[in-house]
Amino acid sequence: MTACPIISSFTFAPLVAAFLIVLTPSTNARLIKWTALVGSLVSLALVLEAVFQFNPSGYFQFIEHHAWVPSLRLEYAVAMDGLSLLVVLLTAIIAPISILASWKLKTPEKTKSYFALLSLQFTGLFGAFTALSFYHWFIFWEMSLIPGFFLIKLFGGPRRHHAALSFVLFTVLGSIPMLLGFQYLFFKTNTFDFVLLSGMAHKGLMPSLVGPSYSWIFFAILLGLIVKVPLFPLHIWQPETYTQAPAPVSMIFSALLSKLGVYGFLRIIMFIFPDALEMYARPLLVLALATVLLGAFAALRQNDLKKLLAYSSLNHVAYCIFGCAVIASYGGHAVIGARTIIIQGVILQMFTHGITVAGLFYLAGILEGKTGTTIFDNCGGLRKNMPRYATLFSIFAFSSLGLPFLAGFSSEFLIFYGVFAIKPLVASVAVIALLITALFLLSLLQKLFTGPLTASCQKLDDISTGQIWIVIPLVVLIFWVGLAPAPFLHYSARVADYITSPY
193 phi and psi angles, rounded to 5 deg = -75, 120
Helix, strand or coil, per DSSP, at residue 63: strand
| Residuewise pLDDT in 10s, the chain (503 residues) | 344 589 999 999 999 999 999 999 988 989 999 999 999 999 999 999 999 999 988 788 998 888 777 766 777 889 999 999 999 999 999 999 999 999 987 777 788 999 999 999 999 999 999 999 888 899 899 888 889 889 999 888 888 888 888 888 888 888 889 999 988 888 888 888 888 898 888 888 888 888 888 889 999 999 989 988 899 888 889 898 999 999 999 999 999 998 999 999 999 999 999 889 989 999 999 999 999 999 999 999 888 899 999 999 999 999 999 999 999 887 555 565 888 899 999 999 999 999 999 999 999 999 988 888 888 877 888 888 899 999 999 999 999 999 999 999 999 999 999 999 888 899 999 999 999 999 999 999 998 888 888 877 788 888 999 999 999 999 999 999 999 999 999 999 889 888 887 76
**CA–CA separation, 377 vs 136, rounded Å?**
47
Q: Within a 13 Å sphere around the CA of 162, how many CA atoms are in the beta-carbon half?
A: 8
- Kindly report the backbone phi and psi dihedral angles of residue 165, in degrees, each rounded to the nearest multiple of 5, phi listed first: -65, -45
CA 16 vs. chain centroid, Å, equals 24
Select from 114, 47, 351, 382 the least CA-distant residue to 248. 114
In a domain, 220, yes or no: no
In a domain, 226, yes or no: no
Cis peptide before 230 (omega within 30 of 0): yes
> Is residue 495 assigned to a domain?
yes
Cα–Cα distance, 321 to 349 (Å, whole number): 11
The verdict on residue 254 lying in a domain is no
Range of the domain at 349: 291-503
User: DSSP secondary-structure letter at 67?
Assistant: E
pTM: 0.93
| Residue 57 neighbours by CB under 8 Å, 6+ apart | 494
What's the CA gap between 129 and 126, in Å, rounded? 5
The span from the CA of 228 to the CA of 231, in Å, is: 8
Domain count, the chain: 1
324 lies in a domain?
yes
3-class state of residue 165 by DSSP: helix
Q: How far apart are CA 308 and CA 227, in angstroms?
A: 20
Give the per-residue pLDDT at 71. Answer: 66
Q: Which long-range contacts (CB under 8 A, 24 or more apart) does 113-116 make?
A: 113/150, 113/154, 114/151, 114/154, 114/155, 115/18, 115/21, 115/32, 115/33, 115/35, 115/36, 116/18, 116/21, 116/22, 116/36
User: What per-residue string of b and e applies to 448-460 under the rule 16 or more CB within 10 Å gives b?
Assistant: bbeeebeeebeeb
Q: At residue 77, what are phi and psi to the nearest 5 degrees?
A: -135, 120
In a domain, 465, yes or no: yes
Residue 376 lies in a domain: yes
d(CA 389, CA 368): 13
3-class DSSP state of 315? helix
State the pLDDT at residue 120.
Answer: 94
Within-domain flag for 69: no
The DSSP symbol for 109 reads G
- Is-contact 366 441, C-beta < 8 A? no
Q: How far apart are CA 344 and CA 492, in angstroms?
A: 6
Residue 46: CB atoms within 10 Å: 20
State residue 332's pLDDT score: 54
User: What span, in angstroms and rounded, lies between the C-alpha atoms of 125 and 135?
Assistant: 15
pLDDT for res 331: 59
pLDDT of amino acid 209 = 85
CA 490 vs CA 278, 435, 450: distances in Å:
27, 30, 40
